[in-house]
């Protein structure tokens, strides 16, 4: 099998510093101390491809430098390099050129490492002539063309037997930063069929009034604890019950009746943590991700210092079936997996499995 792999090296940089994405914000992200997320995710995917290559050789094609070749070689692969980015700062045009070159070279699959913007660039360049698959490295990841993790992307890429048409969605990041989420269809792509390819992200979710009231009561009853309140409408209802207007797509920190940090970055969250800390987070509707989609501020360093309480409406849990994590730390992901209690009402909880 011939697999073309292209990496967007700046994808996801804005997440942990609270920028909600990287579109038009690369320099600001760097000024805030952001580290590239995509190269590490790419290396994980390439390492899994290298392991798969030991069992059955595959022809790996990449774009040059930070857009694939560097990470492939670091993983022990010897890829065929079809071209290089035109400038030191890569662009969406480079991604499109790479995808087009892969198609001309007759690849069986185009794998990309990035987020929704990268997915749109690749899908628009490839059309429906060749299947595509994303190794997630962005902040939002709304589209249903991504594997659950970089390792899953490699596994699906080397084993899939059939494909189906799926939607590539993206949102305006400036609107997103203002709390407005309006996903738009950017393309239709052909994608491998596998259990480890995620569904599209849903925005609805049923009533949460009783749930929010019960959680808020417990928060007020624990003034000694620092609460890290994740994004989304479910946790947003808890913030409203506590009496403040939180950042709808950001992370807020609350302790002893006061907002400690609003729309906090990873560094600000770590600074705010005390002896007893709780992350309050809700899984993403349609996908079931607790960590790793839309909340990169909740980094492994943050998660390891906190207890985790998951809250969700019954309808959301019925829809997702099971929960997922993708924290950028495989060891932490493994620690989080297993059965957990999810709060679904003022007092009620449901057992759910994190896979």
**31 vs 153, residue with greater confidence:** 153
Distance CA 68, CA 74 (A): 10
Kindly report, residue by residue over 75-114, the tens digit of the pLDDT.
999 999 999 998 878 899 999 999 999 999 999 999 999 9
**25 vs 86, residue with greater confidence:** 86
Q: How many other CB atoms sit within 10 Å of the CB of residue 315?
A: 15
Residue 181 pLDDT: 52
Kindly report, residue by residue over 44-62, the tens digit of the pLDDT.
999 999 998 665 778 999 9
Q: With 90 as the cut, is the pLDDT of residue 195 above it?
A: no
Distance CA 59, CA 103 (A): 14
Q: Which of 32-41, 108-117, 183-192 has the lowest mean pLDDT?
A: 32-41
286 confidence band (pLDDT: 50, 70, 90): confident
Structure tokens at 349: 């909880």
Residue ranges per structural domain of the chain:
2-192, 209-354
Percent of the chain with pLDDT over 90: 62
Kindly report, residue by residue over 105-150, the tens digit of the pLDDT.
999 999 999 988 899 999 999 999 899 999 998 766 778 899 989 9
Distance CA 184, CA 181 (A): 10
Residue 182 pLDDT: 57
Q: How high is the mean pLDDT of the chain? A: 87
Residue 151 pLDDT: 94
Residue 205 pLDDT: 40
Structure tokens at 299: 């980094």
Over residues 258-282, the mean pLDDT reads 96
User: β-strands 338-343, 349-354: how paired?
Assistant: antiparallel
10 Å CB burial of residue 320 (0-12, 13-18, 19+) is: buried
67 confidence band (pLDDT: 50, 70, 90): very high
Residue 346 pLDDT: 79
Residue 2 pLDDT: 95
Residues paired with 341 in a beta bridge:
351
CATH class of segment(s) 2-192: alpha beta
Task: From 219, 259, 216, 220, select the one nearest 241 (Cα to Cα).
Answer: 216
Q: With 90 as the cut, is the pLDDT of residue 13 above it?
A: no
Over residues 62-75, the mean pLDDT reads 95
**196 vs 240, residue with greater confidence:** 240
Distance CA 53, CA 136 (A): 21
Structure tokens at 101: 């070159």
235 confidence band (pLDDT: 50, 70, 90): very high
Residue 320 pLDDT: 87
């Amino acid at each position: 099998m011939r697999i073309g792999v292209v990496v967007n090296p700046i994808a996801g940089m804005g997440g942990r510093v609270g920028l909600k994405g990287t579109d038009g914000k690369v320099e600001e992200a760097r000024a805030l101390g952001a580290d590239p997320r995509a190269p590490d995710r790419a290396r994980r995917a390439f390492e899994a491809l290298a392991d798969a290559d030991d069992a059955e050789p595959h022809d790996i094609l990449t774009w040059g430098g930070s857009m694939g070749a560097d990470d492939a070689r670091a993983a022990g692969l010897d890829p065929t390099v079809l071209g290089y980015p035109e400038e030191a700062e890569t662009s969406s045009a480079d991604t499109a050129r790479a995808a087009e070159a892969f198609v001309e070279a007759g690849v069986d699959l185009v794998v990309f490492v990035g987020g929704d913007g990268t997915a749109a660039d690749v899908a628009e360049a490839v059309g429906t002539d060749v299947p595509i698959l994303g190794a997630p490295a962005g902040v939002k990841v709304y589209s249903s063309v991504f594997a659950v993790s970089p390792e899953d992307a490699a596994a699906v890429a080397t084993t899939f037997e059939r494909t189906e048409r799926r939607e590539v969605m993206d949102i305006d990041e400036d609107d997103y930063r203002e709390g407005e989420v309006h996903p738009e269809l950017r393309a239709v792509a052909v994608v491998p069929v596998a259990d480890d390819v995620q569904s599209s992200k849903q925005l609805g979710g049923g009533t949460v009034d009783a749930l929010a009231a019960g959680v808020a009561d417990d928060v007020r009853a624990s003034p000694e604890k620092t609460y890290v309140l994740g994004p989304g409408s479910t946790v947003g209802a808890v913030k409203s019950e506590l009496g403040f207007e939180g950042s709808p797509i950001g992370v807020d920190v609350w302790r002893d009746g006061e907002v400690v940090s609003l729309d906090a970055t990873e560094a600000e969250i770590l600074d705010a943590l005390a002896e007893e800390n709780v992350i309050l987070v809700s899984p993403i509707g349609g996908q079931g991700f607790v960590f790793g989609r839309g909340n990169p501020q909740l980094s492994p360093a943050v998660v390891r210092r906190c207890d985790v309480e998951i809250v969700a409406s019954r309808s959301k849990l019925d829809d997702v079936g099971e929960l997922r994590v993708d924290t950028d730390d495989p060891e932490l992901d493994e620690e989080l997996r297993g059965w957990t209690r999810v709060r679904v009402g003022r007092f009620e909880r449901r057992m759910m499995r994190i896979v």
